[in-house]
Structures are given as C-alpha cells and as structure tokens.
Amino acid sequence: MGKPVPLAEQFIAGGVAGWRQGLERAGTYPFAADVTVPGESGRTVVERRPLGVVGLIIPWNFTITSILGSLLPLLAAGNTVVLKPSEKSPLSAARFVELLDLPPGVVNLVHGDARAGRPLAAHEDVALPHFTGSVEAGRSVGVAAAQRLQRSVLELGGNDPVIVDADVDVAATAQAVAFSSFVNSGQICTSSERIYVHRAVAQEFIAALVDAAGAYALNADRDGTGLGPLVDETQRSLVHAHVAEAVELGATVLCGGAVPDGPGFGYPATVLTGVTADMRLMREETFGPVAPVVVVDSFDEAIELANDTGFGLAATVYTHDPVHQQRAGDIRAALVWINAWQQGGVNATYEPWGLSGVGATGADASFDAAPRPVSVLLAATD
C-alpha cells in the first residue's frame, strides 16, 4: 500500500515476534482445565471448544501484521478461517497464504471489496466475524452477527488525542508527537490526530513540531524515513477535504496542507492551529499525516477535550506530574500511553470504547475470544 520499505520490514518483524510469543502462549493457555468449586462433589472440566469457521477481515494499512496478530489464537483454538484482505492491498495476503504449511481448508482466502466482505460476515456458517477496519463497515459486520445472535470482534477507527503538559521536554516531545502523527503517513488506527498542548509551552512546542515535520519528506526512497503515499486517491481526497474545511472555518496551516503535483497520492506532513471541536478534522478519523494543535489552559481542560469524542481507541499523555500521570487513566480509551507512544507490546490487553469497536483483544484476551467455553460436570457417585 505504498509504505516505505524499512517501515514495512519493521512492522512485519514486530508481527513475527508477536506470532512467536503467541505460540508460547498457546502452549500454556488452558483450553481444557479442571475447576475446583468449594462444596462441589465431583469434577468440573472447563473445555474451550472451537467455534467453527471464523471470518477474518483485515485492513489495508498493515496486512501481514494484522494477519499475524489475529490468526494464531483462532487456529490454536481449533477453528478454520476464511481470510479476506482489503481489496486495496491484497497481494501480500495471497503470498502469505501460499506459504502456509497447513492442511487444505484450514485457512481459506477470499478476495474482493465489500461485496465479498458483507456475505462473509453474514454467512450462517461463520461463527465469529473478526473485523478490523472502518466504523461504517464494522457496524454492518456487528449487525450481521447480532441478527444471528452471535458475537463479533470489531476493532474500528480512532481519533486519538495527545496531551502535552507544561512540564515536558518540549523538543523531545515534539519529535515524539511528530512521529505518532506522521509515521506511515498517518495511516494507523492509533495515530495522533488531536493534540492538546498547555499554553505555558504552546508557542515553543508548535514551533518544534513544525520543525520536526520537515523531516517527513514525501516520496521516501528505500532507505529513507520520509512519507510514502496515501493508499489511494479516495483516501487523499478525504484527508485534504478535512484540512480544507478546517481552513475555511478559520484554522491556520503552518506547514503542508496542499495536494502536491506529480504522480501518486502523496500528502505532506501538515500542522494546523486554530482548530475547533466542531471541525471534521477533530470529530472524525482523518487517517493522514495531519497534526491539528489546540492550546489549553490546564490539564483538566485537556482531559475534558480528549474525552469529547465518540471514539475510544488510544490516547497519549506527556507529563512528569505524578498526579497528572494518574489522571491519564480518566481518558476514555482502550490504550493510554504515558510519555511514550505505541508501547505495551504483545502483553497488552484492551477493549475499545464507543465507535472504536467491541471485544477485548491482546494476550490471553485474544485466546479467550477464539473458543467457546463449555463446562462439563462429572458428579461423584457411590
């Protein structure tokens, strides 16, 4: 989907490391376990049995990493899987399935757009729709499962906030926020999309953020750290529409903000100020290299604005104040990072809030979602 090769290699390596950790976890996960109940005469065994067929629908931004992160618990539980990658980046998934050394029918591949995804999610033989993608598509998957009175796992969009407190190392924090806003051209569900900075450091931080944005040049070469293109024209048009609307309503573009000439679907690293809560840039998922900055007068105001959203996937807080670090947990998000972004690794367990999805994932939670628990009681007899 156009990401710079070093970045693709980095995320695939992370996915492989997670797969290996998942293999270790599968060896110790209690797929069958005796349960002792006080006062009970007899023996109860909790068996976690396969659900059957899982419809695994994955997004275009991290195809292989998404497969590696989802597939192993489903297979370890004894399920078969029908995999549908995004029509925007299907080839790596096809190659992955070709390389799998599994019996026929264990992992099956279906290509296509929503015309393939909808019937897969709604099929009566699919026991668990497992979907990562947009809110709109995820809602239709959830409805299809609910109509059959079945559960689903949905990881959907985000409009993730960042809070920059008054006591931070401004230059280092600006570099970190630039990375979380611009890496992979902002096409990560946990990308930083709303930045709330304390007035005491706002002027210095904004200048440092604009300076940091300069390192994210368009059209990175193989060994570069710049920006690859957005995945397609539709995505670039959406990103630019959010920026253009914000400017029309009074925001100021400090860098970027224009569709470049030439081939491909690049969009520059963009920093805006003067944004307001009613702009689509602050209400919807932009999914592009755009960093809108809002100046706040207090940490309390930043928390309040961070929670002013229907999403609840991730949030990042930069502060050295112990009280403020504790209060970071007041943000309604599945993942809250303090003084670092994208931390936690394979042992993180989380469940999104609101429009960001349904169902806990990560670590044992991913294994919990893959089978159906059944308790079998063998009564004591004379």
In this structure, is the dihedral angle defined by the CA atoms of residues 108, 110, 111 and 113, taken in order, positive or negative? negative
Consecutive H or E run containing 142: helix 135-147
d(CA 246, CA 284): 12
Q: Are 197 and 293 contacting, i.e. CB atoms less than 8 angstroms apart?
A: yes
d(CA 63, CA 1): 9
Clarify whether 189 is annotated catalytic: yes
Type of residue at 124? E
Q: Are 43 and 378 contacting, i.e. CB atoms less than 8 angstroms apart?
A: yes
Q: Which of 189, 193, 284, 285 is an active site residue?
A: 189
- Give the angle 56-59-62 at the CA atoms, nearest 5°: 110
Q: Would you state the structure tokens that stand for residue 286, as one six-digit string?
A: 């932009």
Q: Which of 155, 193, 284, 285 is an active site residue?
A: 155
d(CA 61, CA 370): 24
Number of H helices, E strands in the chain: 12, 18
133 CB contacts (<8 Å, ≥6 apart)?
57, 58, 59, 86, 156
Residue 316 vs residues 70, 168, 171, 286, 298: alpha-carbon distances, Å:
24, 13, 17, 17, 16
Least Cα distance to 318 among 303, 333, 337 occurs for: 337
b/e string for 144-165 if b means 16 or more Cβ within 10 A?
bbeeeeebbbbbbbbbbbbbbb
Q: Supply the residues annotated as catalytic.
A: 155, 189
